[in-house]
Amino acid sequence: MVDAVEQFFAVKARIAAAEHEAGREAGAVTLVAVSKTFDAAAIRPVIGAGQRVFGENRIQEAHAKWPALKEVFPDIELHLIGPLQSNKTKEAVALFDVIETVDREKIAAELAKEIARQGRAPGLYVQVNTGSEPQKAGIEPREAVAFVARCRAVHGLAIDGLMCIPPADENPGPHFALLEKLAHEAGVERLSMGMSGDYKTAIAFGATSVRVGSAIFGSR
């Protein structure tokens, strides 16, 4: 059985080493612990070890476990890292502190509506489909900078960063480099990139947050 706390500290140490190796400041990279498919009992020890930023893929699953946990640990920051459907924006804005998967006009419009209605403004990232994979969510790289500008100008959304998931069978480095270039052009500072298998590479390319699940909690 995986010891999630032990694995968590090992991941934190590897992040610190990767920051140092890349010549970046200690603590420059935020660990988003991806807790999808794991229940509250599996997550609590990692919270107890000091982790406060978590990522979930599905709104329904997150809703079943996080409101109760956030009552006990109010400083938790919850990120939506899975695709967002327009009919789920109300729930997403109410539950999540950061939504990393803004990727089309309809979602931007619905988010703007809900943010105004609820008076709650989660951090927003635009997801970029750096590999132009037809089965994957995310806006095309060539449209990303203009889309960020439209989110701001048309919908009044504050876009904080960009997010990507490189193709599984490709070297992630060029994808991370592309995302960093697009972020610079779009005038955003945060880069959510890198997962359990490639987060050290992502840190070398400027990631400000990495999304690590199986390296902490074990395989799903």
Residues 120-147: pLDDT tens digits? 999 999 999 999 999 999 999 999 999 9
Q: 111-128 burial by CB neighbour count: b if 16+ within 10 A, else e?
A: bbebbeeeeeebbbbbbb
- Cα 90 → chain centroid: 19
Contact residues for 86 (Cβ-Cβ < 8 A; gap 6+): 106, 107, 110
pLDDT at residue 214, rounded to an integer = 95
pLDDT at 53 > cutoff 80: yes
Residue predicted with more confidence, 1 or 170: 170
Please state, rounded to an integer, the average pLDDT across all residues of the chain.
97
pLDDT at 1 > cutoff 90: no
pLDDT at residue 220, rounded to an integer = 78
